[in-house]
Amino acid sequence: MSAKVRQLWLVLALLALPCVAHAQRMQADMILLHGRVYTVGAKHSWAQAIAIRDGKIVAVGSDKEMARYRGPATKVLDAKGHLVLPGITDCHVHFLDGSFSLQRINLEDTKNLDEALRRLKEYADAHPKDPWVLGRGWSYPLFPPNGLPDKKFLNAIIPDRPVYIEGFDGHTWWANSKALEAAHITKDTPNPPGGEIVHDPATGEPTGAIKEDAADGLIRRAIPEPSRDEKLRALRAGLKHANELGVTRVHVMGGINPGEGDISEIELLDQLRSSGDLTVRFYVAYRMDPPEVTGAQLTRVEQTREKYHDDWIAGGAVKFFLDGVIETHTAAMLAPYADDPSLSGSLLWDPESYKRFVAELDRRHIQICTHAIGDRAIRLALDAYENSGKVNGTKDARHRIEHIEDASAADIPRFGSLGVIASMQPLHAKPDDDTLNVWAPRVGQERVQRAWAWHSIQSGGGIVAFGSDWPVVTLSPWPGIQNAVTRQTLEGKPAGGWIPSERISLADAIKGYTLNAAYSGHREKDEGSLEAGKLADFIVVSQDLFKIEPSKIGVTQVLLTMVGGQVAYQSEKF
């Protein structure tokens, strides 16, 4: 070969180097093909395939279009025509509590008191070494006529050790005599501010019914604290459970108070990340308890935000509880309860103090999430957010109200006008025995028409973001999506749906668990839809929700869960 030819080949080789480098940069780590990809994106709703590199989506399009991203090392995943969705973001969970609930007795599906007691006895007999019998899930209809549990039922079946069972909504508890004794609760124990130890009106003795967190804390302090290893084991089980259901991010609402000295949940999550066990992304809000927010709490929240602010763990939000729940008349209402005009609930925070602390947190650009169920509590939260915007001139704060079970007609449009996120839980509105026969009679016919007003808030320009409140209800999003679309039980009752005017479309229900949920945590630029540049968090599901009867959505199963381009769960059926 002559010198000129060698020189020509050298020039051609040098010219080809950028092309080779470009091809290597284009090569995807993985390509998903043959899917029915619902992107939830603004430009193109549907696609066939997704290309992934370095944990992010590099392209979404047709199978043919993905060929340019395929290289010798690219893994190819066949979706087999299944529906592909963005990973589910659950906007409201209590993840550590939910994780522990997987290991304890759960009474959620019990139909009557006899069944609940039988299952409790069987569980206690099967766990003789547990110092306390702990669990959750009972509902108010088990205890007619007032919906409140009594210690006598537990004493009869488990008299020899403490029993403490949380109600399904996390606002009322059921204790036996041993649990009350362990906590030194007697007929002379005063009610703590914001809580109630229910007493027998005739004898003055505590009945075993405990209302709200403040009173729960009196018994909780007597329960042995789980060790760090026990918490980590529980969290690992919770992560597995979440991935199996298609959940790729959760917003933890109101974990440990930032002024307490215990190991916070976020530190446990960081340990799981270090060991490679974290397969769900977390956004964590600290709980703020009345009567004030201290300087030490503010400092810890800001330090947490500074330390944890990446794709996997983010902190720095706060959670207030303004009221209780409607079933126990503890939700704060503008007018008296329909079934007991002597009651209208009460606020857990002094209104002016709450407004002042909201303004201070807003000034520091800390996102605020407020539990508000009754219309009076909802109005106070909206007023406080509106005031903070005026005082501080903040923009796009995206403060949130959690639950919003019964907003007033005048306040529903304010979610849109103020830019306040409506963080709601579709399964809370399931028209079951509790909702129809306990909840609805409390609020009365006029207010019941605004129950869980998803459609009305959305129509007024409000952003509705969905979650579960796990372990209050199942972490699975699929029954929640079904109820958002149908407002019926899984058995299809009532015919036509309960308050059908508040139903929303399937597309909007999915958006509530994906893009809107991401937006509620300031993550919409990176998550919530399947678009180039976003994190490769997506799921493949067993049935096409757009092609089946809405009454079948709840039984959907997840076949594959991808988090950051890595398989977090794969079903044997896929």
Q: Homologous superfamily of 3-81 in CATH?
A: Urease, subunit C, domain 1 (2.30.40.10)
Concatenated DSSP letters for 178-209?
HHHHHTT--TTPPPPTT-EEEE-TTT--EEEE
Residues 6+ apart with CB under 8 A from 65: 49, 59
Within 10 A of 167 (CB to CB), how many other CB atoms are there?
Answer: 27
Instruction: Write the CB contacts of 457 (distance below 8 Å, at least 6 apart in sequence).
Output: 404, 407, 412, 415, 416, 422, 464
Q: What is the pLDDT of residues 392-407, one digit of tens each?
A: 999 999 999 999 999 9
Please state, as a whole number, how many other Cβ atoms lie within 10 Å of the Cβ of residue 223: 15
Could you tell me the two tokens for 127? 């766990």
The kind and range of the H/E element at 101 are: helix 95-101
The per-residue pLDDT for 11 is 52
- Cβ neighbours for 449, distance < 8 A, ≥ 6 positions apart: 499
User: What number of CA atoms fall less than 13 Å from residue 497's CA on the CB side?
Assistant: 17
Q: What is the pLDDT of residue 431?
A: 96
Whether pLDDT at 187 is above 60: yes
Q: Report the percentage of the chain scoring pLDDT > 90.
A: 86
pLDDT at 256 over 70: no
pLDDT at 10: 57
DSSP run (H or E) holding 77:
strand 75-78
pLDDT tens digits for range 442-476? 999 999 999 999 999 999 999 999 999 999 999 99
The rounded distance, in Å, linking the Cα atoms of 304 and 319 is: 14
pLDDT in tens, 311-324: 999 998 999 999 99
DSSP symbols for 219-258: HHTTSPPPPHHHHHHHHHHHHHHHHHTTEEEEEEES-S-T
CA end-to-end span of the chain: 56
pLDDT digits (tens, 9 = 90+) for 272-309: 999 999 999 999 999 999 999 999 999 999 999 999 99
3 state SS of 300: helix
Domain boundaries, the chain: 3-81, 95-220, 228-533
Q: Look at residues 472, 379, 389, 384 and name the one whose alpha carbon lies nearest to residue 424.
A: 472
- The CATH number of 95-220, from 3.40.50.20, 3.30.920.30, 3.60.20.10, 3.10.310.70, is 3.10.310.70
Tens of pLDDT, residue by residue over 142-179, are 998 888 999 999 999 999 999 999 998 888 999 999 99
Report how far residue 565's alpha carbon sits from residue 285's, in angstroms, rounded to the nearest whole number: 27
Phi, psi of 31 (to 5 degrees): -130, 130
Cα separation, 491 vs 52, whole angstroms = 40
Contact in structure between 40 and 86 (CB atoms under 8 Å): yes
pTM (two decimals)? 0.89
Name the pLDDT band for 246 (thresholds 50, 70, 90). very high
pLDDT at residue 261 in the model: 41
Residue-level pLDDT at 426: 98
pLDDT of residue 44: 83
Domain at 228-533, CATH class = alpha beta
Q: Residue 23 has what pLDDT?
A: 44
Q: What is the DSSP string of 482-516?
A: HHHHH-S-TT--STT-SSGGG---HHHHHHHHTHH
Higher pLDDT, 378 or 140: 378
Q: Report the alpha-carbon distance of residue 205 to residue 217 in Å, rounded.
A: 19
Cis peptide before 291 (omega within 30 of 0): yes
Check: CB of residue 124 under 8 Å from CB of residue 165. Answer: no
Least confident of 60-69, 216-225, 380-389, 544-553: 216-225
Question: How many other CB atoms sit within 10 Å of the CB of residue 445?
Answer: 9
Name the average pLDDT for the chain: 93
Q: Which of 369, 352, 274, 280 is nearest to 99 (CA)?
A: 280
